[in-house]
DNA sequence: AACCGAATCAACCGCGTTGTT
DNA sequence: TAACAACGCGGTTGATTCGGT
């Protein structure tokens, strides 16, 4: 429950059992509620000169009548220079969906993969947007059913949205351009159940692009991270076919990324970024939202075109594997998902 | 224009973890 | 090693904004 103050925006009187009278008086003067411009300026200037950390001390020294906690939160969620404002991009939404399916409510961990986004923002997004749709579908947002719905309907639509965006406009440096590759990326069986019968699971890999949209790193997360093998990474333009020998998808010509450069499969060593603990590979994984969306597994692997995917989805719905068509329709009709405000 | 319910998001809290003495 | 402080995370709240009537 909330503290004893009736008004959120009043001064705070903390329960300080062991504090001195002086401390009590100080605590009684602590401000709560929205930050003023003056407070923001004080905090920003102080951090610019002295750096972050030691928040309680910082609050005092900066002359702020706030708790250290409050200062930290204000800085991390609002004032920090690299904080991104504005709505989450489809790419970011896609990533959130994927990472949440993997980690659950580990907001901070998820936020680490979205540069400039805060855990609070992601948490709010999940609660206000994602859970809303779960409610509309009348299913629990943490249920397998909803997870499946997200994976099979929402994620593909986001991918499609990304594709539409990139084909309709030239990309900015921060955009993800999937013009030539989005149709090749569908999910592995952990994401889209319908592909599981046709592909043998193989170690997922990821390409990380630099700011010029050139591949700067390829990681094969779930195998020995110090050894990258191109065995499992082939990106091509044509309709994919499964090579029965290698049990992987083989296409004909190299994939092109947004700037027209081919994606090279480097036999590089990326061990400097990959810790021994491959179970927590995302801790070291850089989802490079600046340089380009990392179309890495485990979410995305090569399968077929969107047409094929939707065809498969349609069949799946028709066959009633685990999804009723009503539920599918409900997802298709969630137009607000696609209202990406600029 | 006024009202009202829903949605959004900044800010708070409790509590577990980590660091320091 | 115990005690305390600081930090950080996830859950929750409630003021504000938005959109419909």
pLDDT of residue A25: 57
How far is the C-alpha of A308 from the C-alpha of A171, rounded, in Å? Answer: 26
Is the distance between the Cβ of A45 and the closest atom of strand C smaller than 7 Å?
no
Residue A103, nucleotide of least CA–C1' distance: C10
Q: Note the Cα A97 to chain centre separation in Å.
A: 7
Residue A3, nucleotide of least CA–C1' distance: B13
Residue A7, nucleotide of least CA–C1' distance: C14
Residue A18, nucleotide of least CA–C1' distance: C4
Count of beta carbons in the 10 Å neighbourhood of residue A107: 21
Chain A span 49-88 residues with beta carbon within 7 Å of strand B: 66-67, 69-70, 73-74, 77-78, 87
CA A96 to C1' C8, in angstroms, rounded, equals 20
CA A250 to C1' B11, in angstroms, rounded, equals 52
Q: Cβ distance A200 to A188 under 8 Å?
A: no
Specify the DSSP class assigned to residue A336. G
How far is the C-alpha of A192 from the C-alpha of A54, rounded, in Å? Answer: 46
What is the per-residue burial (b if ≥16 Cβ within 10 Å, else e) of A14-30? Answer: beeeeeeeeeeeebeeb
Residue A109, nucleotide of least CA–C1' distance: C9
Q: Cβ distance A64 to A43 under 8 Å?
A: yes
**Structure tokens that stand for A186 in this block:** 């569908």
Residue A104, nucleotide of least CA–C1' distance: C10
Is the distance between the Cβ of A199 and the closest atom of strand B smaller than 7 Å?
no
CA A341 to C1' C18, in angstroms, rounded, equals 14
pLDDT of residue A234: 20
Cis amide leading into A298 (omega within 30) = yes
Residue A122, nucleotide of least CA–C1' distance: B9
CA A10 to C1' B15, in angstroms, rounded, equals 24
CA A266 to C1' B21, in angstroms, rounded, equals 50
pLDDT of residue A130: 79
What is the per-residue burial (b if ≥16 Cβ within 10 Å, else e) of A256-266? Answer: bbbeeeebebe
Is the distance between the Cβ of A106 and the closest atom of strand C smaller than 7 Å?
yes
DSSP string for A248-272: EEE-SSB-B-TTS-B--------TT
Protein contacts on strand B: list nucleotides below 7 Å from a Cβ. Answer: 7-14
CA A130 to C1' C20, in angstroms, rounded, equals 23
pLDDT per residue of chain A (342 residues) written in tens, 0 to 9: 223 333 344 444 333 333 445 555 555 578 888 888 888 888 888 888 888 888 888 888 888 888 888 888 888 888 888 888 777 887 788 888 888 888 888 888 888 888 888 888 888 888 887 777 777 667 777 677 777 777 777 777 777 777 766 666 543 333 332 222 222 222 332 222 222 222 222 223 333 333 333 233 333 322 222 222 222 222 222 222 223 332 222 222 222 222 222 222 222 222 222 223 333 233 333 333 333 333 333 333 222 333 333 343 343 333 333 344 444 444 444 434 433 333
The helix (H) or strand (E) run that includes residue A216 is strand A215-220
């Amino acid at each position: 429950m909330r503290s004893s103050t009736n008004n959120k925006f009043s001064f705070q009187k903390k329960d300080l059992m062991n504090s001195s009278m002086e401390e009590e008086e100080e605590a009684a003067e602590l401000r709560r509620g929205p930050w003023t411009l003056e407070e923001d300026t004080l905090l920003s200037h102080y951090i610019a000169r002295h750096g972050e950390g030691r928040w309680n001390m910082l609050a005092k020294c900066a002359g702020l009548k706030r708790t250290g906690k409050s200062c930290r939160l204000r800085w991390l969620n609002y004032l920090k220079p690299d904080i991104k404002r504005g709505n989450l991009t489809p790419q970011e939404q896609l990533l959130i969906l994927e990472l949440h399916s993997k980690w659950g409510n580990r907001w901070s961990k998820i936020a680490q993969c979205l540069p400039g986004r805060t855990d609070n923002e992601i948490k709010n997004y999940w609660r206000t947007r994602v859970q809303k749709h779960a409610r509309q579908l009348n299913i629990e947002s943490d249920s397998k059913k909803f997870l499946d719905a997200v994976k099979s309907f929402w994620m593909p639509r986001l991918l499609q949205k990304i594709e539409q965006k990139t084909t309709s406009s030239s990309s900015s440096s921060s955009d993800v351009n999937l013009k030539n590759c989005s149709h090749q990326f569908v999910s592995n069986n952990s994401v889209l159940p319908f592909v599981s019968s046709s592909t043998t699971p193989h170690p997922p890999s990821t390409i990380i692009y630099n700011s010029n949209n050139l591949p700067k790193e390829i990681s094969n997360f779930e195998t020995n991270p110090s050894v990258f093998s191109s065995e499992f990474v082939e990106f091509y333009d044509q309709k994919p076919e499964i090579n029965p020998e290698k049990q992987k998808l083989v296409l004909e010509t190299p994939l092109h990324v947004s700037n027209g450069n081919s994606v090279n499969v480097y036999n590089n060593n990326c061990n400097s970024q990959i810790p021994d603990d491959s179970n927590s590979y995302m801790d070291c994984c850089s989802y490079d939202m600046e340089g380009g969306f990392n179309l890495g597994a485990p979410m995305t692997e090569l399968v077929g075109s969107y047409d094929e995917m939707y065809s498969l989805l349609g069949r799946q719905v028709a066959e009633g594997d685990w999804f009723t068509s009503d539920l599918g329709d409900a997802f298709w009709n969630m137009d607000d998902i696609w209202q990406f405000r600029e």
